[in-house]
Amino acid sequence: MINKSMNFIMVGRTKRRRRFILVTSLLSSIAFVLCCTMLMLGNTIYPVQDVILVLLGEDVKGASFAVGTIRLPRMLVGVFAGFAFGVGGYVFQTMLRNPLANPNVIGITAGSSAAAVFCIIVLQASNMVISIASVVGGLTTVLAIFLLSKGTSFSIGRLILIGIGIQAMLNAVISYLLLIGQHHDIPTAMRWLTGSLNGANMENLYPLIITVLIFAPVVIILGKRLDMLELGEQAATSLGVDTNKTRLVLVISSVLIIALATATTGPIAFVAFLAGPIAKRLVGVGFSNIIPAGLVGIILVLASDLIGQFAFVTRYPVGVITGILGAPYLIYLLIRINRRGDL
């Protein structure tokens, strides 16, 4: 009887592992195809061999500038920002055990945005200052949310409601800044707030790449502990997880990569909100979905950017397309949660 139970467990684990590998491989392949498409498509369509030569450092007439200077930075920004939003959103949703507890809804992205818009409109600061202010704004916001929601006991519902309130307040601050801003600064701020890959260049990309390469592996390493946190405080503690330390490291790492992504592209709507649930539905339980969530984030950003550029007569920023995709899901989720009485 025991042997049959063990065999059943091993078979189930093998199936889950195969599914994880299959889904991750499929998502990676889709992301790779989208990356190649981003480099090939534009006002001029370049063949694969020209793109490869440019990437290898060869000088190809016309393609060197279009691919190397314009399309490559745009594609890399989409990859690293999409991965950052996907991973960060999944961490908050899993850690707080609620699909609404993501950076877009609870105000973390709004904190980064308010700080960045203040730098753009009031200080007229450089991109480096905007990036630093965005990080500080995100960290300050998440600290305020956790402190205000602490009370006598920690409540996920209270944290979400306070986060939504802080988001509304910060959005009011952003609206005020736009109202008092100079005419030549407002288009820059509005384009940034919409979420866009336009104007991407390698110089602005380095801080995002470095931050993701440093802190995303930290989150991935803590993936098993994150899954234990989803079981609840007591269950995670009984399994040997230092919940306070783990939560602190996960929050700081996630906020940093989200804030840098926000500073680089603006708050691309709903990527952090959608990536985790999509990855979880595709992979299932039994394995950490951090990497699949990051890959889904990349796919959402790159696919939406391609749709915004080429599917319509007018070109739209990536944030407009992701907003169209994410808004119906948010409404559906709110209705479902309201019926369950989780808030």
Could you tell me if 293 and 89 are in contact, meaning their C-beta atoms sit under 8 angstroms apart? yes
Q: What is the pLDDT of residues 80-115, one digit of tens each?
A: 999 999 999 999 888 887 777 777 777 788 888 888
Amino acid residing at 317:
P
Helix (H) or strand (E) holding 270: none
Q: What is the pLDDT of residues 214-247, one digit of tens each?
A: 999 999 998 888 888 877 777 777 877 777 788 8
The most distant pair of C-alpha atoms in the chain lies apart, rounded to whole Å, by 76
Average pLDDT, the chain: 83
Provide the token pair at 90: 């999944």
pLDDT at 7: 58
Amino acid residing at 152:
T
pLDDT at 340: 63
Mean pLDDT for the stretch of residues 173-185:
81
Full set of structural domains in the chain with CATH = 77-340 (1.10.3470.10)
Higher pLDDT, 96 or 11: 96
Residue among 176, 152, 151 nearest 162 (CA): 151
Categorize the per-residue pLDDT at 3 as very low, low, confident or very high, splitting at 50, 70 and 90: low
Highest mean pLDDT among 85-99, 295-309, 329-343: 295-309
- DSSP secondary structure code for residue 119 in this structure: I
DSSP string for 198-230? TT--HHHHHHHHHHHHHHHHHHHHTHHHHHHHT
Residue 5, pLDDT > 60, answer no
Residue 155, pLDDT > 80, answer no
Highest mean pLDDT among 132-136, 199-203, 233-237, 254-258: 254-258
Q: Which of 80-89, 125-134, 285-294, 319-328 has the lowest mean pLDDT?
A: 125-134
pLDDT at 6: 54
Return the sign of the alpha-carbon dihedral for residues 26, 27, 28, 29.
Answer: positive
pLDDT at 9: 52
> Which residue, chain included where needed, has tokens 């314009």?
70
pLDDT at 312: 85
DSSP-based three-state secondary structure for 174: helix
Query: Within 10 Å of residue 149's Cβ, how many Cβ atoms?
Result: 18
Q: How far is CA 62 from CA 41, 44, 79, 207, 236, in A?
A: 13, 9, 24, 29, 57
Residue 156, pLDDT > 80, answer no
